[in-house]
């Protein structure tokens, strides 16, 4: 439960609204208590024909119990007569009802507003933390599971917050007010009712523990369900061409059944709590009623007093009853809060410290020295002592069998991953000792997966360059050979793109990504099979754009085109996480068996990049 209270503290940001909500809750509870107390005169006058009192008589009784809070002059002005007492009390009850309803509305409205704003703040904060976590952690946990925590778990928090500031505060204050009237009327009956409440509290706590445990497992199963569905629908082309619909049906059904199993456990515990509490409460209260019933029959207890006490206890019970469900809601919210706190306590990727010095623009060299990296749950390292020296302005092509570590090696340069051993130097400076923002600002990356976002074409080009002008965006598009197809669109640069750039061909999407890199004006350009999945015409235009743009920059290419490899300044041959050889095309054909195999089986003909 400390996790839910940890996040509940965020509501203190809205102290003014929170204090006003508490005042409204107090006024609502005070109206309820006053209304219950005011029914005493009505019940006495109706149920005690010979013992009824007028308003002055009840006012004097009130003074005797409440230390003479009503001035004697006011009491003298009150109308006499038992009927008048009933009439005025009923009028007062009407005003109290309206007043209490207004205060109750204000309390609920403010509570919902505070809870919603706080959850929005937490959701933004958790999302910001997630996108700043190390990529390795994000890939290990899975995007769907992280999205589930950011969206679904924070939504569960909302239920807990509403329970705390709306249901708990409001119901407890009203219940205490009703219980206070019961003690004021007959403390012995009230004490018996309180004992019942304590007994029910023990029952609720036991059930709440089961709800919390089942809720945590239910949330984990929900994340698995989302992950499986996202994978299948996101890779629907592969699913269909592989005739894998039955396999995906089975995977999704298994995930749904697991979620259903844990969710039903939660609901069973919740469903049991209410009838169990009702049964225990009715049995105990029924037993308690036997004693005052005998006193009324023997004339030792005023019926009106008994009914008012019992009614007050009933109202108190009605106010406290929702707390049975509330405790369960807090357990569910607590499970979600625990998952969120685990996420927020996960370390951020290194280099986010604002005190780290910036990296000067690259002008000399890049060096990998004995780099080792092992992915979780793998038998062999992805990189095993890789060392490589690259001069500024050099174009270096990296080739090797699938899974040999080409992409991993280049991913270390912008620090998407941190090596387990070894160092990476730019111009002799260890990149682990500079701010990650200044490092990444110098690197442009174009991969085979043309990553575009929902928004306009202009917004996608300017995605990595804050504050870029319209003319700068257009210039970058022209350099990337993209302006022709952009202007052919009805809305030109203002054309809205769907998810993933839907509506564009693969080559068009790739050219927008190149325009994004051009606009960034990096000193280092990384091309990870940037032309591997596009048509010949687009490939030619992209090759021209990259050849022009790469001049004067250090260019690192994961290559699959023979022409690119041949025209590179040097070729790096990788195998099983190691760098086997470095040289020119002719040299490597002569001395490297691995390179000869790659050249004959993997490298294909195509336009040269330079």
356-442+524-531+551-610 shares its CATH topology with 448-521? yes
Q: Average pLDDT per run of 10 along the chain, which is 610 residues long?
A: 84 90 82 65 54 57 57 62 61 72 84 90 89 82 80 86 78 70 64 63 61 67 74 65 70 80 70 61 59 60 62 63 68 84 86 82 95 87 94 92 90 92 95 91 87 88 89 93 91 87 84 90 87 65 80 87 80 93 91 87 57
Give the length of the chain. 610
3-state secondary structure of 558: strand
CA 506 to chain centre: 33
Q: What is the DSSP string of 517-547?
A: HHHH--SEEEEESTTTTS-HHHHHHHHHHHH
Pairwise CA distance, residues 297 & 289, whole Å:
12
For residues 129 and 343, the answer to whether their CB atoms sit within 8 Å is yes
Instruction: Note the CATH number of domain 2-345.
Output: 1.20.1560.10
For residues 189 and 308, the answer to whether their CB atoms sit within 8 Å is no
- Residue 21 token pair: 């909500």
303 closest CA partner among 43, 1, 599, 582 = 43
User: 448-521: what CATH class?
Assistant: alpha beta
For residues 395 and 568, the answer to whether their CB atoms sit within 8 Å is yes
Element (H, E) at 470: helix 470-479
Instruction: Note the CATH number of domain 356-442+524-531+551-610.
Output: 3.40.50.300
Q: Give the pLDDT of residue 65.
A: 55
How far the first Cα of the chain sits from its last, in Å, is 62
Q: Give the pLDDT of residue 148.
A: 81
Q: Give the pLDDT of residue 238.
A: 58
**Cβ neighbours for 58, distance < 8 A, ≥ 6 positions apart:** 40, 41, 44, 85
Pairwise CA distance, residues 59 & 38, whole Å:
11
Q: How many CB atoms within 10 Å of residue 565?
A: 23
**Cβ neighbours for 132, distance < 8 A, ≥ 6 positions apart:** 348, 349, 352
442 closest CA partner among 362, 365, 357, 351 = 362
Cα–Cα distances (Å) from 63 to 34, 55, 315, 348, in that order, read 15, 12, 25, 65
518 closest CA partner among 481, 491, 488 = 481
Q: Give the pLDDT of residue 371.
A: 96
For residues 325 and 273, the answer to whether their CB atoms sit within 8 Å is yes
Beta bridge mates, 527: 446, 557
Pairwise CA distance, residues 557 & 610, whole Å:
12
- Residue 530 token pair: 């940037």
Pairwise CA distance, residues 40 & 75, whole Å:
17
430 closest CA partner among 370, 375, 383, 474 = 370
Cα–Cα distances (Å) from 505 to 77, 477, 495, 497, in that order, read 89, 16, 15, 12
Q: Give the pLDDT of residue 464.
A: 85
Pairwise CA distance, residues 218 & 328, whole Å:
14
Element (H, E) at 397: strand 395-399
CA 257 to chain centre: 24
**Cβ neighbours for 507, distance < 8 A, ≥ 6 positions apart:** 534, 535, 537, 538, 539, 541, 542
3-state secondary structure of 557: strand
The alpha helices in 235-365, defined as continuous H runs, are 236-241, 245-297, 303-320, 322-345
Pairwise CA distance, residues 308 & 319, whole Å:
16
Q: Give the pLDDT of residue 476.
A: 92
User: Domain residue spans in the chain?
Assistant: 2-345, 356-442+524-531+551-610, 448-521
pTM strictly above 0.85: no
Pairwise CA distance, residues 358 & 168, whole Å:
51
């Amino acid at each position: 439960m400390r996790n839910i209270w940890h996040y509940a503290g965020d509501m203190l940001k809205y102290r003014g609204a929170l204090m006003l909500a508490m005042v409204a809750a107090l006024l609502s509870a005070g109206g309820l208590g006053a209304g219950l107390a005011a029914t005493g005169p009505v019940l006495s006058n109706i149920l005690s024909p010979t013992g009824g009192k007028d308003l002055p008589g009840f006012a004097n009784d009130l003074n005797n119990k409440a230390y003479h809070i009503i001035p004697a002059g006011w009491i003298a002005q009150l109308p006499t007569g038992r009927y008048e007492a009933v009439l005025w009390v009923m009028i007062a009850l009407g005003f109290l009802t309206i007043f209490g309803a207004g205060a109750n509305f204000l309390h609920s409205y403010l509570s919902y507003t505070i809870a919603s704003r706080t959850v929005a703040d937490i959701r933004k904060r958790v999302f910001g933390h997630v996108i700043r976590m190390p990529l390795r952690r994000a890939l290990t946990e899975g995007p769907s599971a992280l999205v589930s925590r950011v969206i679904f778990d924070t939504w569960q928090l909302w239920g807990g917050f509403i329970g705390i500031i709306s249901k708990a505060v409001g119901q407890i204050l009203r219940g205490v007010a009703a219980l206070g009237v019961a003690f004021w009327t007959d403390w012995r009956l009230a004490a018996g009712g309180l004992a019942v409440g304590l007994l029910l509290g023990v029952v609720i706590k036991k059930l709440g523990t089961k709800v919390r445990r089942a809720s945590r497992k239910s949330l984990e199963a929900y994340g698995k369900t989302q992950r499986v569905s996202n994978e299948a629908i996101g890779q629907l082309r592969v699913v269909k061409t592989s005739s894998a619909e039955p396999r995906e049906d089975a995977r999704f059904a298994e995930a749904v059944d697991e979620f259903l199993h844990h969710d039903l456990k939660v609901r069973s515990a919740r469903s049991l709590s209410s009838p169990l509490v009702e049964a225990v409460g009715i049995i105990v209260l029924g037993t308690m009623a036997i004693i005052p019933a005998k006193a009324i029959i023997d004339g030792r207890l005023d019926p009106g007093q008994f009914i008012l006490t019992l009614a007050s206890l009933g109202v108190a019970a009605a106010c406290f009853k929702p707390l049975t469900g509330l405790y369960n809601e807090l357990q569910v919210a607590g499970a979600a809060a625990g998952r969120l706190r685990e996420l927020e306590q996960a370390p951020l990727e290194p280099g986010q410290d604002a005190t780290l010095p910036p990296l000067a623009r690259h002008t000399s060299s890049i060096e990998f020295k004995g780099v080792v990296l092992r992915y979780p749950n793998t038998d062999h390292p992805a990189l095993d002592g890789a060392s490589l020296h690259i001069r500024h302005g050099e174009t270096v092509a990296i080739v090797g069998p699938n899974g040999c570590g080409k992409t991993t090696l280049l991913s270390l340069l912008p620090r998407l991953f941190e090596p387990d051993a070894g160092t990476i130097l730019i111009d002799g400076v260890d990149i682990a000792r500079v701010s990650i923002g200044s490092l990444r600002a110098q690197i442009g990356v174009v991969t085979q997966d043309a990553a575009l976002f929902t928004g306009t074409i202009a917004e996608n080009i300017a995605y990595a360059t804050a504050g870029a002008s319209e003319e700068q965006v257009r210039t970058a598009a022209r350099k990337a050979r993209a302006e022709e197809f952009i202007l052919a669109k009805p809305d030109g640069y203002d054309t809205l793109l769907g998810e993933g750039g839907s509506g564009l061909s693969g080559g068009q999407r790739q050219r927008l990504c190149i325009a994004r890199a051009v606009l960034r004006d990096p000193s280092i350009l990384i091309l990870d099979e940037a032309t591997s999945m596009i048509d010949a015409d687009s490939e030619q235009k992209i090759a021209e754009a990259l050849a022009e743009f790469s001049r004067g920059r250090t260019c690192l290419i994961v290559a699959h085109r023979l022409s690119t490899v041949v025209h590179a300044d040097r070729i790096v041959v990788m195998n099983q996480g190691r760098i086997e050889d470095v040289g020119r095309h002719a040299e490597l054909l002569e001395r490297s068996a691995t390179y000869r195999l790659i050249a004959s089986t993997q490298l294909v003909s195509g336009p040269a990049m330079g």
